[in-house]
Chain A
Amino acid sequence: MKEFIDRLGFPRFIIIVFLICLMALAVYLNIPLSDLVSDMLVRFGMNAILVLAMVPGIQAGIGINFNLPLGIICGLIGALISIEFKLSGFLGLFVSILIAAPLAAIGGYLYGKMLNSVKGQEMTVGNYVGYSIVSFMCIFWLLAPFKSPELIWAYGGNGLRVTVSLESSISHVLNNFLAFNIGKITIPTGLLLFFAIFAFIVWVYSQSNRGLSMRVAGSNGKFAQSNGINVDKQRIKGTVISTVLASIGIIVYSQAFGFLQLYNAPLYSAMPAAAAILIGGASLKKATIVHVIIGTILFQSLLVVALPVINVIAEGSMSEVIRVIVSNGIILYALTREGGKAA
């Protein structure tokens, strides 16, 4: 048993035990388990690519990419443009991605350049860059020349809405693709498949000579340099990939959620993703696809099960409070570990 816990890692063991207790409580409180499981699958699928975006950053040595909002904003712009042109369904989804990814690549490149001048401070700087960009974009959302009535305030005038419904465009295109039911549980095949494709690409990349150069640059810069690797370039590469994944991740997230959230919404988006990958067993130096999958499942399941249970027991909405405590608590735990060793 001790061996099993050691292999699993203590934090994961605690979370799994807690999760099982909550599930039991949910059954006792007559909360339908099938709904919970369906929700878990959806939430896993919609968040996993955002969590995946953490992997290239950690591998390239910039630590946790707290500047996820940068990529997310690029994703939002992509989605907004595709709605402006009245695109819907898969066409809308792919056009959103095609617009978002190059934007994110440019943004990631500039941000990567900046990170190279603040080595060792990436995570702090990332946080503040994220804040700045979100605030700057609040101005942009108000001034952007979008015309579609879907996007702008219902009473006319300038500026985008705080939340934009995707009902008539890309809402649930991935969730419903090839979806089927097992009993009362719905399997969002398209959503999971989409994540699987990206996870596979990231995995293949991390096994390729280029990905390995990036990982080595991240784990020992001097070693990399003495092997003829341009460390700064690799760090930029990691930042670009991370930002592009974030932009795609938010589009996938939004289509499952059914809304685009603008203005201050991207501000805290890095926290749950960081928490998830750290729960999964990643450290500030090492992250793999397995960490992404385990972490996202655990973190999202915990939220899915905890919220209804606690709302029944405690009356009123505790959801936001719990989410913040869990995600920040886990980040804190992981960062306090000696030298950022695996949590």
Chain B
Amino acid sequence: MDLLQMKNISKSYDENRVLNNVSLSIKEGEIHGLVGENGAGKSTLMNILFGMPVIHSTGGYEGEMLINGEPYKPTSPEDAMLAGIGMVHQEFMLIPGFTITENIKLNREKTIPTVLSKVFGKRLEKLDTEAMAKDAKEALKKLDMNIDEYVPVAGLPVGYMQFIEIAREIDKSKLKLLILDEPTAVLTESEAAKFLDIIKKLSQMGISILFISHRLDEVKQITDSITVLRDGEVVANVNTEDIDVKEIARLMVGRKIELSSKEDEDRQIKDENILEIKDLRVKMPGEEVKGLNLTVRRGEILGIGGLAGQGKIGIANGIMGLYESSGTVIKDGKEIPLNNPREALKASIAFLSEDRRGVGLLLDDSIEFNIAFSSLEIQENFLKKFGPFKLIDKSKVREHALKMIEDLDIRCTGPKQHTRSLSGGNQQKVCIARALSLNPDLLLVSEPTRGIDIGAKKLVLDTLVKLNREQGVTVIITSSELGELRQVADRIAIIYDGKVAGILPPNASDEEFGLLMAGEDIEKVVN
């Protein structure tokens, strides 16, 4: 029998219909994939299933849901939990200052009676820390995690947080259905592989999994059946065996997508260095760089890959002076002072941060202001003189923004729209536009496609390649997705333990990349 049935679910926000007659059912112990572009309605569907308050404060939903044949009408996440539904959110729902155990057992603590509790009731019982630690350890063990359960969550690498969230859900004894919203988005490839194994193990234990992901090969690899959503409607409901990745991608986007790697072209890159990095050390928590040497040639696209926590993210942040760093960075023969973002920007280096919403954007300002600001601040463009002051020249800003919106195909209601309300892909394009306004000759890009759907991903990567080919911008892309690097980069440097483990051509074998990432010696790998 089906564990969960959702029948003809519809939902509108104001006049905007985001779900239209969506039906899906999940069998016991099945792994069901839910795919769709950003904005296809996946999150709304999950919010309905999980009884999130946002649904009820905006007028509820239409349609019905059954769990084991019983009608199920959640009005709060608590209802969902009672019904045995657990959810691991895209954004972490962990309390940073609490230990791993406390987070896992939150609100389900084991307790021992005390004198007070005998008088005043159960809520005053003492925490049974030992039993809780034991439970937590067990849940972590199921996930093959060997981390001390008494460590606070704050400061752990994101990959760990993901596993802790899952540990919390599987620690719930009644768990029947686990919803995973983009669980591997923040994981590195090896972590993701481990993660997928664990999901399989969970499903063998009889827990159904609803797996939402942008990574289609993962979906293909792990699920038993797949539902594809597009623009709030179900476009396919198939067994995974009967469909391949290209077909899923095609259904999802509704237009044909090239997943092939870059066309063979004859790339002539001069043997001239634009950037030399010597003994760079960056104190970025969780991504420390420990004495890295690297040279970048003018006009190339250099990929930087490696596992999370090995320091690849730290490199660009260090060069830009966002984290305390030491060492030597020479660009065009001139040394760039470290720990000084302004000098780095003045040296014609632009940076797209991996933390798009936190560092890359002013969320409550207009698109046009976001695009123009860096150039205005650093190069004093878009200004007009007014007495002793230099005022922002709004008409120039507008003109420039309109051009950028057209060039980069930013989908928005206009240049005055706030960036908060844009989708991830369009937000990234605004960041690119801002970097481009600086006319950089070196562009550092960190995780450019994190949290972006597959259609927009290609557009973002294409934009970067186009910049490189047409304007001769040297690009350094740091990414956790090796496939992406192999698609666009001319060379790929793999970072291990804060240093370059080796540099490989994009067509090197999977095995070579894998070994380098695991810290094997380059000589040994190539031979």
- A residues with CB within 8 A of B: 204-205, 207-210, 212-213, 216, 219-220, 222-223, 225-229, 285-286
Contacts and interface: CB of A to CB of B under 8 A. Distances in A.
Question: Which 6 residue pairs across A and B have the least CB separation, nearest first?
Answer: A228-B342, A208-B389, A228-B341, A222-B359, A207-B391, A209-B390
Contact of A219 (B320, B362, B380): B362
A285 B362 contact: no
Interface stretch (B133-141, B350-358, B462-470): B350-358
B389 A205 contact: yes
B374 A227 contact: yes
- Tell me which of A210, A222, A228, A229 has the highest count of chain B C-beta atoms within 10 A of its own C-beta: A228
A208 B392 contact: yes
A210 B392 CA distance: 10
Given A204-B386, A208-B392, A285-B364, A222 B373 contact: no
B377 A213 contact: yes
Given A212-B373, A212-B392, A223-B362, 19 more contacts: A210-B389, A216-B373, A219-B365, A220-B361, A222-B355, A223-B359, A223-B360, A223-B361, A225-B341, A226-B320, A226-B353, A226-B359, A226-B360, A228-B340, A228-B342, A228-B343, A228-B346, A229-B342, A286-B364
A209 B361 contact: no
B362 A209 contact: no
A228 B358 contact: no
Contacts of A219: 362, 364-365
Given A208-B391, A286-B364, A228 B322 contact: no
Contacts of A222: 355, 358-359
A228 B390 contact: no
B363 interface: yes
B351 A226 contact: yes
Contacts of B361: 220, 223
Nearest to B388: A208
A204 B377 CA distance: 17
Contacts of A228: 340-346, 377-378
- Tell me which of B342, B359, B378, B380 has the highest count of chain A C-beta atoms within 10 A of its own C-beta: B359
Nearest to A228: B342
Contacts of A207: 389, 391-392
A286 B345 CA distance: 28
Contacts of A208: 386, 389-392
A242 to B, nearest CB: 19
Contacts of B341: 225-228
B245 interface: no
A285 B420 CA distance: 15
22 contacts: A208-B390, A209-B376, A209-B377, A219-B365, A220-B361, A220-B363, A222-B358, A223-B358, A223-B362, A226-B320, A226-B359, A227-B341, A227-B345, A227-B374, A227-B377, A227-B378, A228-B340, A228-B341, A228-B346, A228-B377, A229-B377, A285-B364
A274 to B, nearest CB: 21
Nearest to A341: B364
Interface of B: 320, 322, 340-346, 351, 353, 355, 358-365, 373-374, 376-378, 380, 383, 386-387, 389-392
A205 B387 CA distance: 11
Nearest to A285: B364
A227 B373 contact: yes
B145 to A, nearest CB: 30
B351 A220 contact: no
Contact of A225 (B322, B343, B378, B387): B322
Contacts of A204: 386-387, 389, 391
A190 to B, nearest CB: 23
Contacts of A229: 342, 377
Given A222-B358, A223-B360, A226-B359, A212 B377 contact: yes
A19 B364 CA distance: 32
B431 to A, nearest CB: 10
Contacts of A227: 341, 345, 373-374, 377-378
Nearest to B344: A228
A332 B451 CA distance: 38
A341 to B, nearest CB: 10
A152 B355 CA distance: 61
Contacts of B386: 204, 208
- Tell me which of A205, A220, A222, A286 has the highest count of chain B C-beta atoms within 10 A of its own C-beta: A220
B369 to A, nearest CB: 8
- Tell me which of A219, A226, A228, A286 has the highest count of chain B C-beta atoms within 10 A of its own C-beta: A226
Nearest to A230: B342
Nearest to B392: A207
A207 B359 CA distance: 23
A209 B320 contact: no
Contacts of A212: 373, 376-377, 392
Contacts of A216: 362, 373, 377
B95 to A, nearest CB: 18
Nearest to A213: B377
B364 to A, nearest CB: 6
Contacts of B364: 219, 285-286
Nearest to B394: A207
A314 B387 CA distance: 54
A219 B366 CA distance: 13
Contacts of A213: 377
A120 to B, nearest CB: 15
A43 to B, nearest CB: 31
Contacts of B340: 228
Nearest to B351: A226
Contacts of B355: 222
A13 B441 CA distance: 53
A128 to B, nearest CB: 25
Nearest to A283: B364
A220 B431 CA distance: 15
A286 B362 CA distance: 13
Nearest to B393: A207
Nearest to B381: A209
Contacts of A225: 322, 341
Nearest to B320: A226
B317 to A, nearest CB: 9
- Tell me which of B340, B353, B373, B390 has the highest count of chain A C-beta atoms within 10 A of its own C-beta: B373
B345 A209 contact: no
Nearest to B361: A223
Given A204-B389, A226-B351, A209 B342 contact: no
Contact of A209 (B344, B359, B383): B383
A123 to B, nearest CB: 20
Contacts of B363: 220
A228 B342 CA distance: 4
A227 B437 CA distance: 13
A219 to B, nearest CB: 6
B7 to A, nearest CB: 35
A207 B378 CA distance: 16
Contact of B362 (A205, A210, A220): A220
A213 B362 CA distance: 12
A228 B378 CA distance: 8
- Tell me which of A212, A222, A229 has the highest count of chain B C-beta atoms within 10 A of its own C-beta: A212
A217 B24 CA distance: 47
Contacts of B351: 226
